[in-house]
Amino acid sequence: MNYTVPHGRLGRIPSRLLQVATSLFLTLVLGAVAAHAADAAGTGTISGTVTSSVTQNAMQGAAVTLPGMNRTTLTDDAGYFVFLNVPAGIVDLTVSYTGFTPTTERVNVSAGATARLDVSLKSADVVTMEKYTVQSVREGQALSITEQRNATNPKNVMALDEWGVLPTQNVGELLSRMPGVSFQTDEDDLINSVDIRGMVSSNGQSFTRLVVDGMSSTGVGGNGRTATLHSFSAAMYEQIELIAGQTPDKRADSIGGQINLKSRSPLAMKERQRFAYNLGGRYTPGTSARNSDLGKHPLGYTATMDYTGVFDIAGGTRNLGISASIAQQQITTQFDYDVLQYAATTDASTAYFRDYDKRSGANHRFITGLGLRADYRLSPTTTVSARFTYNAGREPFFHYTFINPFASTGIVAGSNSTRAEISTSGNGQMLLTPRTYSFTSNNPTGTLFFEHNFGRLKIDHAWRMSRTHWDSNAGNNREGGQLTLRTKGSIGFILDNSDLTGRVFTQTAGPNVYDPASYTSYVVTRSTTANRSTVPVDQTSVRLDKRGTITNTDEWSGTINATYPLPFTFPVTLKAGADTVNRRVNNFQSNPLRWYLKENNYISDTALMPITTFEENHGGQRLPIFNPVAVSETLNNGKWAQDEYYTASQNFTSSRHFKEMVDAGYLQSHVTLGQLKLVGGARIEKVKTYVWTYYRDTAVRVPAAAGEPDPYKRAAMEYTKGGANGEYTKLFPSIHGSYNVTPNLVARASWSTSYARPDMLQLIPGISVTTYDHADDNGYEGKVTYGNPNMKPQLAKNIDLKLEYYPTVNGVYSVGAFRKNITDYLPASGINYGTVETVGEGPNNGFGGEYAGYQIFRPQNIGTLRVQGVELDFRQRLTFLPGALKGLTVRGNYTVITGKGQFVYSAAQVGFVERRTADIPGLVPRTANLGLQYTYGKFDVSADLSYSSDYAVTNSGTVGTIGTASWVQLMVHRKSLTRLNVGFYYRVRPNATAYLNVNNITEAGPDRYTWVPERKRSLWITPMSINFGVKGTF
């Protein structure tokens, strides 16, 4: 059942964009008239491009100066520059770029005409480095360093090819190597989001804003605001900007920072045509820690093809550039980790190991990327760019199995956090949940960019439509799903976690867990006359679920910016603009299905899932982990009963919808006073939200539907729509300064304000219910989450101080300090509700008698947080070393973060609870990266080491009474993680380079523990992999 936001609310979006476009048209007309009126008699125009003499690539950000007139401009992303109203005659023009030798050219300007000048720059170390450095990589480094140096606000810029071939072509792999960045991985250990300076938001949604070419873009993510990075192919982009201090012309909803993926202009090359390719494979060797599933499919592939052409049309010269890129990748990754749970206590003597959940399987991921771009220089003053990207992901064969012996009673005396014995007098059971899923996504984005240079007045505007569709289902044809089985009757067993790669579980008594008959179905909830309306069939211990979750995100956005230099004795430039982002998210279940195996039946003679790591670690004997695909073929044998009320009700309870409109305007000025540059101003953002879902009206509608026998009609009668509007307007001032202490030393200071909005699920005024397979550490059977449409955005005041040194040859050394003071804090997942309420028993529990024993979660702003830290960063080619050592390049960074929070978790609490760094989820105290690269002749070798320290991830439970000194949150920590990659390259010929990369040599995974390191939480098995192939340009 596909619900959408009412049409009336969306119908206003095109009209709002039309109003902005109409205003823009009038602005352009007035700007063109003003520019024409300002043309002085006897003047002409100088235009041209700046390129590299070796690679023919355009040099973006090159400084082009008319010294005699004290006029300077920077080249655009196509290396293009233009000066209007230049007095006729011979003038000198100088061009400079970091890492390249400056040059001065003489130009003869004729009145009323355009003088064309194309400048080719030579590398400052072209002779000494001729045999040591790959030119394209060096110029990528030069471009990124120049962009960083030219910025007034604090930012870090990196070229996509600076760190060699990425293991999975995931942009997150490069981002994770930048200063102050920590990363989150998905269940098959691929980086799916990054967090800057510890800013991890509620529900795992990142507070780091991702934009593409400076504009908002949708992606595969939970709320439409964020995107999973592994759905973006790195082959589609040229450069990454990590912006810490937001200027008024940038979005303010990036409390952690902003990441900008920048694509290359097809006009940014000197030759007429260029082809680039990368053909390679990914192999997981048998000597690595791969599991059996991955061992059957150890080989994947990568293929990217790029074409760029520059043409002369309509009487122009090199005025049309076209580029096309396509990337296809297939990788198989293993799904292999544990989840261990203990008694919820701080007392080591009673924190017995009671629950072991081993999960293993494999995922086959296909990623497709398509990029099309056409840049047309309509005139010397106007450039139009049409861009289209398409990212698609497909995971048709995602299968894995959970094997979970657990107990909460019957613990034998003497048990501890390493070894525990459970007797049959308790509730010990074996839980098996084999799963076969599929996942598909696609993300088309179309954009039109316009740039107008009317001399003193410059205007740019852009319009984008972006859409994301993703579907998580029970197989491509719904042939799979999740099967749940548990033993009938208590079992006795021993759990020992001293070696998680070996035997952990040993059965001592009770039904044999390896015998299918031990999983004979028994009734958990009996269908009776009293409850038949919601429990139409007996709910038993064996069930099959086929769920399909679909999310559609649509976004329309537009922006306009204008800059104008004022006629003062010192350079002052005003910039003003407006933008709008209109987003709609529809999340719903697509016909979810559930069957229960009728009482006193069991499954047999049915195909099993592939052998699991649990079984291999326990002697190889097979458990009855039946393949859901095979089980699905037996649903008509008379032993299964379908719960149609589940399908009918889930179509309502899992339907969530979100509409958000953000309109913004800003005014900023740029002032240059000698070596001092200042940028300051303010941005105002108005946010409107509308969220809605369905909830079961137990007071009125449920009693009225009591006599309806049809489950679908009854659910439609019981559920009603509930929604809420929200609106607020905030002002975000900022000021940023940079000062050239010497020609090579830059000092920066920045004060800015930013904010973050609550997550969609937190705002929806209804309830969402999660049922656990068994009770958690604190004995809760599940959770009921209330939405809170009155939640406020969290606000931050940010201070950044930075000192950067740029040596003569490409390189940068920097040291910086920062602080964030956050109010109305929206905390990370696991601690953001802080409630100790539990759903009670009986029909008057507020939920129609349902969800007894579930914990009640209520999202809320919980207090204040202060984060501060220090960052070190360096990149340098060591060309000053003697002999063959000239080919060395070093790079690295190190970040230290501390935090202090004052939080209120519950109304029962008196005063604030103070939390320090180690107890604030998502705050990574230390991150570091180190890279070495050596080039000599045709050979190139690199090594990259990444490190992130121990940090709190989430809260697994609580001890004591909230509001008292005895209350403790039992935090789950991720252990420190160090990974090492090495790469080897050999240039077979000028247009072909062979490469071999070995990734994660140490086979380190994101292991976790609860409360103290002795309580192991999870061991991730992450094997080494090898990338190989050939790439080149011709």
What pLDDT does residue 768 have?
64
Rounded Cα distance between 55 and 197, Å, is 36
**pLDDT tens string 832-852:** 444 556 777 765 666 656 677
Pick the more confident residue, 840 or 805. 805
What pLDDT does residue 850 have?
65
Rounded Cα distance between 829 and 205, Å, is 9
What pLDDT does residue 19 have?
54
Rounded Cα distance between 200 and 834, Å, is 17
CB-count burial class (<10 Å; 0-12, 13-18, 19+) for 878: middle
**pLDDT tens string 724-760:** 888 899 999 999 999 999 988 999 999 999 998 887 7
- Split at pLDDT 50, 70, 90, the class of 138 is low
pLDDT tops 50 at residue 5: no
The residue-averaged pLDDT of 891-906 equals 90
What pLDDT does residue 224 have?
53
438: which 2 tokens? 């599929």
pLDDT tops 60 at residue 340: yes
- Split at pLDDT 50, 70, 90, the class of 941 is very high
Q: What long-range pairs does 146-151 form, CB within 8 A, spacing at least 24?
A: 146/59, 146/60, 146/61, 146/62, 146/97, 146/98, 146/99, 147/60, 147/61, 147/239, 147/241, 148/804, 148/812, 149/98, 149/746, 149/804, 149/806, 149/812, 150/61, 150/63, 150/74, 151/738
What pLDDT does residue 14 have?
46
Pick the more confident residue, 336 or 257. 336
**pLDDT tens string 279-336:** 999 999 988 888 888 889 999 999 989 999 999 999 888 899 999 999 898 989 898 9
Least confident of 164-168, 480-484, 644-648: 164-168
**pLDDT tens string 531-549:** 888 889 999 999 999 998 9
- Split at pLDDT 50, 70, 90, the class of 166 is low
The residue-averaged pLDDT of 371-377 equals 94
**pLDDT tens string 170-179:** 677 777 778 8
3-state secondary structure of 235: helix
Rounded Cα distance between 169 and 179, Å, is 20
What pLDDT does residue 504 have?
96
What pLDDT does residue 777 have?
60
CA 147 vs CA 260, 436, 740, 872: distances in Å: 13, 47, 15, 18
What pLDDT does residue 312 have?
93
Pick the more confident residue, 348 or 224. 348
What pLDDT does residue 9 have?
40
pLDDT tops 70 at residue 958: yes
Least confident of 150-159, 383-392, 417-426: 150-159
> Angle at CA 755, nearest 5°, toward 750 and 761?
155
> Angle at CA 145, nearest 5°, toward 164 and 876?
65
**Residue 561 and residue 576 in contact, taking contact as beta carbons nearer than 8 Å:** yes
What pLDDT does residue 407 have?
92
What pLDDT does residue 215 have?
84
Percent of the chain with pLDDT over 70: 86
**pLDDT tens string 664-701:** 999 999 998 888 999 999 999 999 988 888 888 877 88
What pLDDT does residue 4 have?
37
What pLDDT does residue 74 have?
84
What pLDDT does residue 450 have?
95
For residues 205, 211, 212, 218, the Cα torsion angle rounded to the nearest 10 degrees is: 50
What pLDDT does residue 908 have?
67
- Split at pLDDT 50, 70, 90, the class of 1030 is very high
Percent of the chain with pLDDT over 90: 44
Pick the more confident residue, 845 or 853. 853
The residue-averaged pLDDT of 226-244 equals 72
Amino acid at 128: T
**pLDDT tens string 461-482:** 999 999 999 899 998 899 999 9
What pLDDT does residue 779 have?
67
**Residue 770 and residue 782 in contact, taking contact as beta carbons nearer than 8 Å:** yes
Pick the more confident residue, 137 or 709. 709
Query: How crowded is residue 566: how many other Cβ atoms within 10 Å of its Cβ?
Result: 12
Rounded Cα distance between 318 and 174, Å, is 33
Positive or negative, the CA dihedral 806, 811, 815, 816 is positive
Q: Which domains does the chain have, with CATH numbers?
A: 39-144 (2.60.40.1120), 153-1033 (2.40.170.20)
Please count the CA atoms within 13 angstroms of the CA of 763 that sit on its side-chain side: 22
Which range scores top for mean pLDDT: 66-75, 150-159, 430-439? Answer: 430-439
The residue-averaged pLDDT of 96-116 equals 87
**pLDDT tens string 81-98:** 888 888 999 999 999 887
- Split at pLDDT 50, 70, 90, the class of 861 is confident
The residue-averaged pLDDT of 234-242 equals 76
The residue-averaged pLDDT of 777-799 equals 78
Q: pTM for the full model?
A: 0.83
**pLDDT tens string 569-626:** 788 889 999 999 999 999 898 889 999 999 999 999 899 999 999 999 999 999 999 9
Rounded Cα distance between 230 and 185, Å, is 10
| Average model confidence (pLDDT) across the chain | 84
Rounded Cα distance between 654 and 695, Å, is 10
pLDDT tops 50 at residue 893: yes
Pick the more confident residue, 128 or 935. 935
pLDDT tops 50 at residue 205: yes
Amino acid at 514: Y
**pLDDT tens string 916-926:** 999 888 888 99
